[in-house]
Structure 1
């Protein structure tokens, strides 16, 4: 069985493919939910010769089943946000150190040493509930930065405005991480001209505002913060890794994560790069849950493995996924 340190030392396409095939065999054997799904597709490890042959588990299974391999004690249960009464996804994590290594090494790959940044976090909807993997990650980043000014802001936009202006004018390197609706609230209350701040949005409106297309959102935020680019993080409860965009709309993955697209009309058929389709993610840090997930996002993947997110499927648009009774 592949060891955790091998996942985070992947350096080539061959390394990734070999690790993915090994993890598939492990999860087929040890993950009852995933094994049942593969059985319904008549997919056996003897049929799987390349990563494109691997079945991708529909992400909805994290709402209806305990998707887990290990019989070890569960150390953390991450849950998705949802409207009152809605069924939320749950990710059972038996080794939180794997998650920590994934997000720490991933951040370092794309942004460098966390100690170089003051982290200001505007994530009100996540702070207001239990079990957010994003809050877990950002809390670790705040501590690791070692900067006394790093911290969370709930609804105190005035305090954040003053802190952001003061730190930016001092020439400090700042990363402002915020959910989209809260960042919009902030620029509606004050117009900034930031010189030393990376603004990173982490997702949509969470029911607080009308959804905007990415270009419209980014234009408003760029004007409001006085910056040339808005960075983005692509992550979710069901993944232990994140992809990042430096402001051009193209996300890049760490070496242990890959994105492919599937045919929107046939969920079991993968597409060539450059075509719009459903986003499938291979996240090898999900070694003790499921590393092969068919999400509800729509996007395109390019030749260099970068990808863009275009939108989401409605639940009525998911075809070919509901092979098991949920």
Structure 2
């Protein structure tokens, strides 16, 4: 078994690489789906000596396979959202305490003590279905604030407006985590001039509004809430860690998560910093599933290891589809 505490105590790149290679070997040995994928690529696990040599499992495997690295009982199954009839991803989680430690430590790394905040959540699309890992995290963050003012809002925008105005008057540090289209709906009812509130957008329009580019979206949100920067959370059903942007769409990972950018024409090679490509995620908290995931997001990596999300592949953009047929 991998010593979990090491993952959350990483402080150097050398440590990260050492533990990532250890996790790779563990998962190659214990995760049959991942091992089959590596074998399909003719990868000899004994010859993998760097992060760039580790195979990244296409995220679509979570729609068709049980991606597990141990035989422990499944504690919960996180599922992705999807339109009717769509196949959704299923992330089987055998140790929820790792997920809890991951999001609590990441929040602390970027925002400090959770008890310093009131957390408000405007996440209707997520609340209206079962199995959302985001709802699990935000619900726990709300409880951890130990503040009765924290809570969820579904479609009750008027109550949320009153709450935001009350907390502003009290000078209370507040975080409003909202799905993008619901934040825009809120601003159609009321504009704000917030001084003590962080707006964190997560997810897209969920089919409720026309998608717009990030710069335009953040400008609309900044103007509507009367603030300078919009924060964002980058996470997904198939991961147990999140990256955060404190503004300008530039994301930073917690110490146990890293991003690599693959070539869109050749999934097994990488592009230089600043070039656009497919986002590969190393999430060491995902030790009991797969820590090496090739997403369908497009992005670019900066020299300081921060990254930007620029969009998504459409189906015609995904190269090497023969890798998906295992």
Listed one character per residue, the Cα deviations across residues 175-196 of structure 1 (whole Å, up to 9, x for unaligned) are 0000000000001110101110
Match of 2:286 in 1: 286
C-alpha RMSD of matched pairs (Å): 0.8
Q: Look up the match of 1:93.
A: 93
What's the secondary structure of 1:172's corresponding residue?
coil
Give distance in 2, aligned partners of 1:148 and 1:37: 48
In structure 2, the residue matched to 1:253 is: 253
Alpha-carbon deviation of 1:117?
0.3
| Cα deviation code 1:245-273 (max 9, x no counterpart) | 00121100000000010001111111222
1:217 aligns with 217
**Does structure 1 residue 65 correspond to structure 2 residue 45?**
no
For structure 2, the 5+ residue unaligned runs are none
- Alpha-carbon distance in 1 for matches of 2:137, 2:248: 24
Q: How does 1:1-326 map onto structure 2 within 5 Å?
A: 1-325=1-325
Structure 1, unmatched stretches of 5+, are none
How many residue pairs match? The answer is 326
Instruction: Name the TM-score, length of structure 2 as normaliser.
Output: 0.99
The CA distance in 1 between the partners of 2:233 and 2:320, in whole Å, is 29
Residue 168 of structure 1: CA displacement? 1.1
1:220-242 superposed Cα distances (whole Å, 9 cap, x missing partner)? 10011011110000000001000
Which deviations, in whole Å up to 9, do the C-alpha atoms of 1:11-41 show, x marking residues without a partner? 1001100000000000000001000000010
User: Deviations for 1:271-308, whole angstroms, at most 9, x for unmatched residues?
Assistant: 22211100000000000000000000001001111000
For residues 8 and 73 of structure 1, the distance between their equivalents in structure 2, rounded to whole angstroms, comes to 23
1:55 aligns to what SS in structure 2? Answer: coil
2:286 match: secondary structure: coil
CA distance in 2, matches of 1:2, 1:11: 18
**Per-residue CA distance 1:77-125 (angstroms, 9 max, x = gap):** 0000000110000100000000000000000000000000000000000
Tell me how far apart the structure 1 counterparts of residues 322 and 226 of structure 2 sit (CA, whole Å). 46
- Compute the TM-score of the two structures, normalised by the length of structure 1: 0.99
- Runs of 4+ more than 4 Å apart: none
Distance in 2 (CA, whole Å) between partners of 1:215 and 1:61 is 32
